[in-house]
Chain A
């Protein structure tokens, strides 16, 4: 069994239009590396230059936001469903302040 990953509209250019792809790995970081081997460029849209999960996306394992499960170190198992969504956020706030708020 593999791990099913749901891809949002904005990232489907990396998956040939596919809404769902499959991958494998022990952690979210491993899974994203595995996906990037077949969908080059996908990982860079999700992980910052500093190696953290990008603040503009939400990644879920089944029903849980991975930020509460160890972020990129969160464990995944065969049969899990991983969902990637663009975070819906914004506002009149200055960008630097928004970055600080989201951490």
Chain B
């Protein structure tokens, strides 16, 4: 299961919406071995494509060294699909090289509904997992609907104080 802070998830979705119709990509780093995604790092899509993404290789080296120095690892590797479902393509599976990472896919094909799904991809095998969103705050101005491919087992909503 992927447990992710609502603010980080919202920022990932905002990044995907901002870069639409190109695919957006990035990572969320966290302390090594913790499985806690804590530090969002949006990356440039060096391919600047509607159907392909890749990290610039030098930017990736810089980031991976930075994580190594801070004893972090890429807990989440995310990218968007802009015209298709939030499910790993054969290309995604071929490239997936972080066996410990949660591969988070966001589909922006519908402007009003955001699909968010999370997967483990190990040795070419794709396994979907639930997404648990924590620290969610009810936003009275929210117009964005979320569609989770696999319903979260629990969603912790905290009511906004003073409302």
Which residues of A are at the interface with B, using a C-beta cutoff of 8 A?
8-10, 56-58, 60, 63, 65, 67, 83, 85-95, 97-98, 101-102
B53 x A90 contact (CB < 8 A): yes
Report yes or no: A95 in contact with B98, Cβ–Cβ below 8 A. no
* Interchain CB contact under 8 A, B49 and A91: yes
Smallest CB separation, B99 vs chain A (Å): 5
Residues of B within 8 A of A8 (CB): 97
Residue from the list A65, A83, A85, A90 in contact with B92, Cβ < 8 A: A90
Q: How far is the CB of B153 from chain A (nearest CB, A)?
A: 27
Residues of chain A contacted by B65 (CB below 8 angstroms): 83
Complex partner residue of B97 from A57, A95, A101, CB under 8 angstroms: A57
Contacts A86-B98, A92-B23 known; list 5 others, CB within 8 Å: A10-B97, A85-B97, A90-B52, A92-B81, A97-B51
Given A58-B57, A91-B81, A93-B52, decide whether A10 and B98 contact each other with a Cβ distance below 8 A.
Answer: yes
Across the two chains, which residue of chain B brings its CB closest to A83?
B61
Closest Cβ of chain A to B83, distance in Å, is 7
Interface residue SS majority, chain A: mixed
Residue B30 CB within 8 A of the other chain: no
B55 touching A87, Cβ below 8 Å: yes
- Inter-subunit contact B60/A91 (CB<8 Å): no
Report if A56-B49 is in contact (Cβ < 8 Å); known contacts: A85-B64, A90-B79, A90-B89. no
Q: Does the CB pair B60–A88 fall under 8 Å?
A: yes
Interface string of B41-59 (1 = CB under 8 A from A): 0010001010111110110
Q: Does B160 contact A (CB under 8 A)?
A: no
**Which residue of A is nearest B32, CB measured?**
A9
Residues B94 and A95 in contact, CB atoms below 8 Å apart: yes
In the assembled complex, the CB of A79 is this many whole angstroms from the nearest CB of chain B, namely 18
- Tell me, yes or no, whether B163 is within 8 Å of chain A by CB: no
- Specify which of A65, A86, A95 is in contact with B91 (CB 8 Å cutoff): A95
Cβ-defined contact, A9 with B81, below 8 A: no
Residues of A within 8 A of B94 (CB): 56, 90, 95, 98
In contact, A85 and B51 (Cβ under 8 angstroms): no
Q: A13 CB to closest chain B CB, in angstroms?
A: 10
Q: Cβ of A88 and Cβ of B89 under 8 Å apart?
A: no
Q: Judge whether B51 and A92 touch: CB under 8 Å.
A: yes
B53 touches A58 (CB 8 A): no
Chain A residues, Cβ within 8 Å of B97 = 8, 10, 56-57, 85-88
Are the C-beta atoms of A101 and B47 separated by less than 8 Å? yes
